[in-house]
Amino acid sequence: FLIQDPKYSFLKELGLQDKNVGVFNGKWEASGPVIQSFSPANGKVIAEVQTASVGDYEKSVAAAQEAWHLWGEMPAPARGEVVRQIGDALREKLQPLGQLVSLEMGKILPEAIGEVVEYIHVCDLALGLSRTLPGTIFPSERPGHVLIEKWNPLGLIGIITAFNFPVAVFGWNSAIAMVCGDVSVWKPSDTTPLVAVAVTKIVESVLQKNNIPGAIASLCVGGKDIGETLVKDDRMKLVSFTGSTAVGQQVGVEVQRRFGRHLLELGGNNAIVVNADANLDLLLNAALFACAGTAGQRCTTTRRLLIHKKVYSEVVSRLKKAFAGVVSKIGDPLLAETLIGPLHTPAAVEAYKKTVAEIVKQGGTIEFGGKVIEREGYFVEPTIVTGLPHDSPLVKTECFAPIVYCIEIPDLDTGIKYNNEVEQGLSSSVFTENLGDVFKWIGPHGSDCGIVNVNIPTNGAEVGGAFGGEKATGGGRECGSDSWKNYMRRSTVTINYSGTIKLAQNIKFGD
Ligand code: NAD
């Protein structure tokens, strides 16, 4: 196991061992199958994790429900104080947790640390929210009456997360849900189980210090079976699901079947529209990170460049040069000189190979890359494709790898049309210096995505805004703005202090 190698001593700093328990419900106890966690950089086993059986899941739900009685009644500012301490505990473990994310997920260390920082930022945001959670009073049309909007916690929620943001996505949900008064059961991706155990240990340490039952932040590492059980469980008032569109669609239907609430954060097929007047230095700088960064494994990775015909050749040739400049910097994501790490699994490499073969078969040109890199681990070349039609099924499909399609456009209107013609609606960006075009882009006939940027890449969101996308991206919004509403139920309360009964709309009934 890599955990025995002194090079990875940060694993022990996080309380991880050769064999870890993947279920926490106040106690660490698991009885499901044992799985291995691999480093995508070399294919070696880091350590083992015992996963949740359905029985373990049941115990965790029961413990979380029990713990909710205490947590749901605590004043929100007191819950905020606990979340503040979680932020501080994460600050203390920033380096080792970032290193673990890099080792187990495969993204480069600065991005892995950035992901932990994102969780810390959400804790800060949630702390403020805990003292400002709104409740409105509306004027009543009836004398001696008052209309109040009262928000209460949902209770128990399920959080299912994807492999590519194994810390941040849990943090976005958990920190906000905690101040809202909810308790959660987290089912992380079964290919990043060590990150989930390490994060839960950090949260546990804070809960313990504050004498709060650990079950308010329960963990059930497991695969599809645990995910499906959670989704069908009508004790889960909300299922927050982050993952692929295909799985998210099933999740949405299942949760709807039982009239539960869902928050879906699904796949993207994000475009940058390059206007004729774009600042190309800015664009190239942004596009390199957006297309090739994280080895194409962000939901917000740029997969399509919609480039004005006047600058098309220049953009493609400069992008090829930029890609060539980073090829020597593909490697071990934990090393300081690395800019691009591996794909996460051998299956992802297969999907990349299959897509590249299909591109060639359909007459596309591989302008750059297109090959698997011959070395240990799951490395591929960042890839630039030209020559495919804008509406080719390949271009319209999210392949979770660093492949970008360059497509020529005659004008901004066509760029907007192509941007919007895919089924997904997560992120988008335009590069332009023209103010009128900016407003067209962000207006009613502009980009139909949840994230609509100008002169920045499609990826790299901040926590203050609501994060999520439209259409097949699922429609959910997480993190900032009013996303907290997802985690609470609203009651409209009318209180009569007039001493007489008056009906609304002045309806007379009887005398
Ligand atoms: P995935 O859909 O394969 O898995 C996501 C999670 O769902 C995992 O925990 C998995 O174990 C679980 N799961 C699998 N089958 C299930 C089922 N039938 N019922 C319930 N749970 C089930 O996705 P992935 O490969 O881990 O992640 C990559 C995908 O996630 C990409 O499509 C990416 O765009 C998307 N993503 C979206 C966002 C966003 O915010 N929109 C963020 C990150 C990733």
Instruction: Please give the full DSSP string across 461-481, using - where no structure is assigned.
Output: --TTSEE--EETT-S--EEST
Atom of ligand 1 nearest to the CA of 254: 19
d(CA 106, CA 188): 16
Atom of ligand 1 nearest to the CA of 478: 40
pLDDT-flagged residues of the chain (< 70)? none
Residue nearest to atom 30 of ligand 1 (CA): 243
CA proximity to 192, closest of 34, 42, 5, 49: 49
CA of 59 to the centre of ligand 1 (A): 24
CA of 397 to the centre of ligand 1 (A): 16
Residue nearest to atom 40 of ligand 1 (CA): 265
Atom of ligand 1 nearest to the CA of 247: 2
Q: Is 468 exposed, middle or buried (0-12, 13-18, 19+ CB in 10 A)?
A: buried
| Per-residue burial over 62-83, b = 16 or more CB atoms within 10 Å of its CB, e = otherwise | ebbeebbeebbeeebeebbebb
Residue nearest to atom 20 of ligand 1 (CA): 227
Atom of ligand 1 nearest to the CA of 469: 41
Pocket of ligand 1 (CB under 6 A): 160-165, 169, 187, 189-190, 223-224, 227-228, 231, 242-244, 247, 250-251, 265-268, 299, 398, 400, 426, 469, 473
Atom of ligand 1 nearest to the CA of 189: 9
Q: What are phi and psi of 430, to 5 degrees?
A: -120, 145
Question: Hey, which of 49, 163, 172, 349 would you mutate to test ligand 1's pocket, going by the most ligand atoms within 8 Å of its Cβ?
Answer: 163
CA of 38 to the centre of ligand 1 (A): 18
> Residue with structure tokens 């499909």?
397
Is residue 240 within a helix (H) or strand (E), and if so which, with residue range?
A: strand 238-242
Any idea which residues carry the catalytic annotation? Answer: 265, 299
146-149's contacts with Cβ under 8 Å and 24+ in sequence apart are 146/494, 146/495, 146/497, 147/492, 147/493, 147/494, 148/492, 148/493, 148/494, 148/495, 149/490, 149/491, 149/492, 149/493
**If DSSP codes are grouped into helix, strand and coil, which group holds residue 173?**
helix
Helix residue ranges, H only, 154-279: 168-180, 193-209, 224-232, 245-257
| pLDDT at residue 510, rounded to an integer | 87
Q: What is the DSSP letter of 340?
A: B
CA proximity to 39, closest of 293, 334, 327: 334
d(CA 261, CA 377): 40
Question: Hey, which of 104, 111, 172, 224 would you mutate to test ligand 1's pocket, going by the most ligand atoms within 8 Å of its Cβ?
Answer: 224
Q: Using CA of residue 312, residue 317, residue 318, residue 324, what is the dihedral sign?
A: positive
Q: What is the DSSP letter of 43?
A: -
253: CB partners within 8 A, 6+ apart? none
CA of 408 to the centre of ligand 1 (A): 32
CA of 297 to the centre of ligand 1 (A): 12
In Å, what is the CA distance from 37 to each residue of 103, 106, 171, 451? 10, 12, 21, 33
* 8 A C-beta contact, residue 111 and residue 163: no
Residue nearest to atom 35 of ligand 1 (CA): 243
CA of 167 to the centre of ligand 1 (A): 14
Which tokens is 328 given? 């020597």
d(CA 468, CA 172): 12
Q: Is the pTM of this model over 0.95?
A: yes
First to last CA, the chain: 83
Helix residue ranges, H only, 106-237: 109-130, 168-180, 193-209, 224-232
> Over the stretch 171-184, which tens digit does the pLDDT of each residue have?
999 999 999 999 99
Q: Is 31 exposed, middle or buried (0-12, 13-18, 19+ CB in 10 A)?
A: middle
* 8 A C-beta contact, residue 95 and residue 120: no
Atom of ligand 1 nearest to the CA of 223: 11
Question: Hey, which of 173, 219, 242 would you mutate to test ligand 1's pocket, going by the most ligand atoms within 8 Å of its Cβ?
Answer: 242
CA of 163 to the centre of ligand 1 (A): 7
* 8 A C-beta contact, residue 367 and residue 384: yes
> Over the stretch 45-79, which tens digit does the pLDDT of each residue have?
999 999 999 999 999 999 999 999 999 999 999 99
Beta bridge partners of residue 34, listed in sequence order: 50
| pLDDT at residue 383, rounded to an integer | 99
Atom of ligand 1 nearest to the CA of 188: 9
CA of 267 to the centre of ligand 1 (A): 8
Cα 276 to chain centroid, rounded:
33
